[in-house]
Amino acid sequence: MLNNHVASVQWTERLPVMRSLTFPFVLSSIVAALLLISSIAGLLFGQRGLYEPNPATLPSFLTQDVITLVVVVPLLVICLSLMRRGSVRGLLVWMGTLFYIAYAYSFAVLGTWLPPLFLVYVAIVSISVYNLIFLLVSTDAEAVRTRFSDHTPVRWAGGFLMVMSLLLATMWVAMIVGDILAGTQPKSTLFVIWPLDLVIALPALFWGGLWLWRRQALGYVVGGIVLMKAAAEGLALVAQTVVTLFMSGIGDDILPAYAVIGVGGLVLLGLYLRGVGPEHSTIRFGSKRSVVSHA
């Protein structure tokens, strides 16, 4: 027991955080297990009643299961492993992955059909959200900023996030106003997409981009998180849209926007994470913390 506690303190000390991350580590491990279970069940039984037999949504859910198995779960495990080694990159991608998971699986929670695994999806979303909040309030944003090189393309990354968020918000608002004025009802999936994007995702992208553009300490944390989320969600939506078009003939006019967000977010995320300097160790002096480079 004592050895486990010492080991936990040692890997936590190497990160720019203000408290032990053992608890969120355990919670993320639970999320990974639930994702593994739900995605395998979805692929095996999704077309046998586990998912709503709706040609507009069924291919998307099946594609999400494949993405979860092939990309999301391995990525989450890799992030946890890197984070335990004191990697700031691992810490930021970990938080971004949790944001993506919470957003992606909200569609299974906020839909108009009650799936058999509803409570599993609720657990995935809830644990991911509160895990992310715990990590955010536990991260020393100023210490994170000191890890980045002055040559990190924060203006490019911040500008991209702000522009994408404003363009998507303008598009959604225009569609909403158009439907209201015409007295028409949009397709049911938009009643999930619009609230998630306009209330949570797009404001997060805009403020993360603005703080990063201004080189504010919090921006170096939130900016990395939303770049990861933008890349993951954009590419996932491209895959889901293409599979849905192939399986049911139902397309999406904003596929190019998904591609721009996904590819642009991925490229800028890579350049952004390259800006992280040599790994450091964090040493505590009373209530203060000092960062010392091993370079």
Domain limits for position 132: 2-293
pLDDT band at 274 (very low <50, low <70, confident <90, very high): very high
What are the residues whose beta carbons fall under 8 Å from the beta carbon of 275, sequence distance 6 or more? 148, 149, 151, 152, 153, 154
Q: How many CB atoms lie within 10 A of CB 90?
A: 19
Statement: residue 178 has pLDDT above 90: yes
Report percent pLDDT > 70 for the chain.
88
Model pTM score = 0.88
Position 162 scores a pLDDT of 97
Statement: residue 293 has pLDDT above 90: no
User: Domain count of the chain?
Assistant: 1
What DSSP assignment string belongs to 93-104?
A: HHHHHHHHHHHH
In single-letter form, the type of residue at position 238 comes to: V
What DSSP assignment string belongs to the chain?
A: -HHHHHHHHHHHHTSSBSS--HHHHHHHHHHHHHHHHHHHHHHHHGGGTTS---TTTHHHHHHHHHHIIIIIHHHHHHHHHHHHTT-HHHHHHHHHHHHHHHHHHHHHHSSSS--TTHHHHHHHHHHHHHHHHHHHHHB-HHHHHHTB-TTS-HHHHHHHHHHHHHHHHHHHHHHHHHHHHHTPPPPTTHHHHHHIIIIIIHHHHHHHHHHHHTT-HHHHHHHHHHHHHHHHHHHHHHHHHHHHHHHH----TTHHHHHHHHHHHHHHHHHHHHTB-S-EEEEEETTEEEEEE--
Statement: residue 289 has pLDDT above 60: no
Statement: residue 5 has pLDDT above 60: no
* Cα four-point dihedral sign 120, 122, 127, 129: positive
Is 242 or 10 the better-scoring residue by pLDDT? 242
Region 191-208 average pLDDT:
94
pLDDT band at 292 (very low <50, low <70, confident <90, very high): very low
Cα(48)–Cα(157) distance, rounded to whole angstroms?
A: 43
Statement: residue 173 has pLDDT above 90: yes
Position 103 scores a pLDDT of 95
Statement: residue 283 has pLDDT above 60: no
